[in-house]
Amino acid sequence: MIRRAPRSTRAKIVQAEADQRATADLLYQLGQGDLAARLLGCMAAKQARRGGDGRVWLRRCGSAACRWCSRTRQHAGWFAALDWSRGHRRSLAAISIRRRPGQIGAAIRRLRRGLRDVRDRMARSRRRWRSVGIAGVVAGGAVWLVVLHPDVERGEVNEVLRRRWPDAAVRDVDEGAVLPEPLGLHDAVALALVPRGVDYLRVVVGLRHDDGVRHHHRAVEDIEPMPITF
C-alpha cells in the first residue's frame, strides 16, 4: 500500500509556492544559485504535472529546503515508523528542537545523540529498557517519534524523557494524526546547506543487536529491525 501526504488545499499550495520562491531567493542571496535553481526546477516540474496528464513527477530535487520533497520524506518516514511499530506497545513522543537561528542541524544531531544516550543508559540499569526502540521524523520545529516500549509502561517512558526534555509530550499514537507543517524558511535553508548524504529529517534509535539482548529478551525477537531506507 502506498500512502502519501494528505492532499493540500488550493490555499496551501499557493502558500507553499510563495515559500519555495522565498527560499530560492534567500539561497541566491547566499551565493547558492545551484541549490536555488534546483528548488525552482522541482516546483516547475510539480506544477507541470498538475495539468492532470498523470505523468510522473521526475525532477524531484530531494532538498530539505523544498516544500514538496521535505513533506514527502517526512510522511514516508512517519508511515515507516508506524508500520514498524504496529501491533506492539508504543507511544507518540513529540519533543521540540531547541535551536539558535541557523543551527538546526547541530540541534537535531544533539537531540538524536541525547535520545540514544538516554535509551542506552536506561538499558544498562533496567533490563526492560533493552527492547525500547525509537523512530520518527523532524516536522515543524519538533521531532515526532514513535517509541516502541514492549516491556516498559508509558508512564515510565514519559518520566524518563521529561527528565531530559521537560516539554516532551508522550501520548497515544494516532495513526491519522497530521504532521506539523515543514520547517520554517531559515531552518529549511540551514538544512539545505548541510552536505548531502545526511538525512536530517529522519530520527532512528534502533534496537540494540548484541546477542545478550536478543538471547535474554524474547519479546524483541518478533519485532522487525527498522528498515535502513524509507
Q: What is the DSSP string of 144-172?
A: EEEEE-TTS-HHHHHHHHHHH-TT-EEE-
- Spell out, one character per residue from 19 to 58, where the chain touches Zn ion: x when CB under 5 A holds, - when not: -----------------------x----------------
Tell me the three cell numbers of residue 20.
519555495
Strands (E), 24-132: 90-96
- Spell out, one character per residue from 66 to 105, where the chain touches Zn ion: x when CB under 5 A holds, - when not: x--x------------------------------------
Q: How far is the CB of 101 from Zn ion (least distance, A)?
A: 23
**Burial class, 89, CB count within 10 angstroms (exposed 0-12 / middle 13-18 / buried 19+):** middle
- Tell me the number of residues near Zn ion by CB under 5 A: 4
For helices 104-125 and 154-164, give the axis angle rounded to 10 degrees.
130
**Burial class, 46, CB count within 10 angstroms (exposed 0-12 / middle 13-18 / buried 19+):** buried
Is the CB of 19 or the CB of 220 nearer to Zn ion? 19
Residue 139 interacts with Zn ion (CB under 5 A): yes or no: no
Q: Which stretch binds Zn ion (CB under 5 A): 13-21, 22-30, 62-70, 157-165?
A: 62-70
Residue 160 interacts with Zn ion (CB under 5 A): yes or no: no
DSSP state of 206: -
Is the CB of 17 or the CB of 120 nearer to Zn ion? 17
Q: Using CB under 5 A, list all residues that contact Zn ion.
A: 42, 61, 66, 69
